[in-house]
Structure 1
C-alpha cells in the first residue's frame, strides 16, 4: 500500500470515529502557529517599527521636503522646487565630491574584495587561523578617528615614514599630507583598515563549505584560482553579495577619517580634493564659515540616498543566483 493510500485509509478511520483527518489536523496546527505568530508580531515588531519610523523614516521625508526649499536654518522656508538640485549639480565641488565617492565605492571596493578573497584562500589552510582572523578583524573595532590621527603622526614631515626613508637615501620624501596626495592616502588607509572585516565575513562563508569539495579539487589537480572560481565563489555567492551591499552603503557614508585627515594638515576643514558627498553635505550645512544652506545640503543627502538605493537594487538583481544546497 502506498503512502497516499495509507493516509487516505487513516483519514477514513478517523472520520468514522468522528475525529478530524490528518491533513485537516496538520492544517489546523499550522494555522494555530500562524495565529500565535500574528499575536506576537505587534508587541515585538511594533515598538521597533515605531522607533525606526521616528528616527529614520520621518527625518528622511523631512529632508526630502527641505531639499525643495531655500532655508538657512531659522526663519521661514521659501519653496524653490528643484532649484537646489540644479545648483548642486552645477557646483564643481559637489561633482568632485561625487566623483571621490564613486572612487571609494568602486576602486577601494575592488581592492578590498580582491585582497579579502586572497586572504581567505591563504588563511583557510593556515595553522592558527582563528587567531589571525581575530587580529585582522580588530581594526574594524577601532573608530576611524583613531586611524586618521595615527596617519597624521606617521605621515607628517617628521613622522615615522619619512624618518625611515632617510637612512635609505631618500633626501626629499614625498609630501604625504599635501592636498594632491591626501585622498590617495585615505584610499590606502581604508583598504588597510577594512579588508580584515570583509575577510572575516567571507571566511565564515568559506568555512561552511563541506571539506569533500576541497578533496575533490585536490584529486582533480585544481589550482587555487580554479578552486576559487568553481567552488568557493559559487558556494559563497550569497555572502559575497551581502558584503557588496554592506560596502556600498558604508562607502557613501565615509566621513570621519576624511575629516581627521584634513585636520591633520592644519586646515581644519579637509581640502576640497578629498571631499566626498558626506563631507560636502556637512560643510554646506554646518561649516560655520558661511550662511548655512540646508536646502542644498539636504539635496546632496537625497542624491546620496538615491545613489545607494539604486546601486543596492542593481547589485541585488545582478548578483541574484539560485540557491546552492550542500
Structure 2
C-alpha cells in the first residue's frame, strides 16, 4: 500500500516542479534572447570587420580589433577620461554618501531627508544634464554668483579644462542619494549593543566612528564602491547630452561608452565597437576582483 502512495507523491512533486519551470520559461527565454544571446553574438563579431548595414560582407580578422584598440588615440583618450572620472567621482561620492547617512541616521524626520537626498537619483539623467547646462552657462547661476566676488567664470562645457570636472560635479550630485540609502540601511543594521559596549570601554565621538562604525560598514562600503565604479566606467548619458554626442570640446568629455556608441552606430564599425565593449568589461571585472580580494584577505 505504501508504494502507490510514494509514486503519487513523486508524481505530484514532479508536476509542481514542471509548473514552476513553465512559469519561469518566459523570463528565461527573454533573458536568453535579449541578454545572453546578444552578449555571445557581440563577442563573436568582435573578431570580425562587421557592419549591420552589410552583414554579408563581414570579414574575420582575429584579434586585430583588440590590437588596434591600444593604437587608437580616441579610445586611449576616452579610457583616460573615464579612468580620471572614476578616480575622482567614486571616493568623493562614497564619502559624501557616508557623511549624509550618518547625519540622517541621527536626526528626526529621516523619511523626509531620505526622499530629499534620493530624489536626484530617480530624476531623468537628461533632465539633470539640461539643468546643469543652465547652471554652467557663461551667464548661468554659478558665474553670476562668482561675479559677486570679482571672479569671471569660464564657459565650462566649452572648455577642455572645465568640461569633465563639471560633468563630475553633476554625477556626484545626481547619484549620491542612492549610496546614502545603502549606507543608511547598513547603519540601521548595526546592533545598539555594540555601541553600548564600546562606550563602556571609553570610545566616544570620532573613536566610536573609526573603530566601530566604519569596520562594521566595510561590506556596505565595498558594495557602494563597486556599484559606483561600475556606474562611472559606464558613464554615457551626461557626456552625450553635454557634448552633443561628439565628446567635445577636443575629446575632453569623450568616455569609453560614448566612444563605443560613436564607433558602433555612427561609423558602423560594430565589430570594433564590440571589442571595445569587452575590453571595458574586462577592466571592470579586474578592478572588482581586486577589491574583492583585498576585502576577503582582511576578513581572514
- Which residue of structure 2 lines up, in the alignment, with residue 99 of structure 1? 80
Structure 2 residues not aligned, in runs of 5+: 1-9
Matched, 1:296 2:272: yes
Match of 1:28 in 2: none
What whole-Å deviation, never above 9, does each CA across 1:253-305 have from its counterpart, x for those lacking one?
21111111113xxxx52311111110010111223xxx421121111111112
CA spacing shift, 1:316–1:43, aligned 2, 3 Å = farther
Inter-CA distance 259–103: structure 2 relative to 1 (3 Å threshold): same
Q: Deviations over 1:56-91 (max 9, x none)?
A: 111111111111111233221011111111111111
Q: How does 1:111-190 map to 2 (within 5 A)?
A: 111-170=92-151, 172-177=152-157, 178-190=159-171
Classify the secondary structure of the residue corresponding to 1:214.
Answer: helix
Instruction: State the match for 2:36 in structure 1.
Output: 57
Distance 2:15 2:197 in 1: 47
- Give the whole-Å Cα distance in 2 for the aligned partners of 1:194 and 1:297: 27
Q: Distance in 2 between matches of 1:298 and 1:175?
A: 35
> 2 CA distance for matches of 1:143 and 1:223?
42
SS at match of 1:90: coil
SS of 1:320's partner is: helix
Structure whose alpha-carbon radius of gyration is higher = 1
Paired with 2:225 and 2:20, the residues of 1 have a C-alpha distance of 31
Alpha carbons 1:151, 1:261 under 8 Å: kept: no
1:269 to 241, 246, 258: 246
8 Å contact from structure 1 (residues 121, 224) kept in 2: no
1:130-181 CA distance string (max 9 Å, x none):
21121101110001111111111111111111122223322x3233221221
The TM-score with structure 2 as length reference comes to: 0.86
State the distance in 2 between where 1:280 and 1:120 align.
35
1:252 pairs, out of 233, 236, 244, with: 233
Cα distance in 2 for residues equivalent to 1:134 and 1:224:
27
Question: Any unmatched runs of 5+ in structure 1?
Answer: 1-30
2:101–2:180 contact (8 Å) kept in structure 1: yes
For 2:207 and 2:18, how far apart are their aligned partners in 1? 51
Please give the alpha-carbon distance, in whole angstroms, between the structure 1 residues aligned to 2:191 and 2:97: 20
Partner residue, 1:8: none
CA distance in 2, matches of 1:307, 1:133: 33
Aligned residues: 286
Report the TM-score, using the length of structure 1 for normalisation. Answer: 0.79
Which residue of structure 1 lines up, in the alignment, with residue 7 of structure 2? none
> How big is the shift at 1:312?
2.6
Q: Which one of 49, 67, 81 corresponds to residue 70 of structure 1?
A: 49
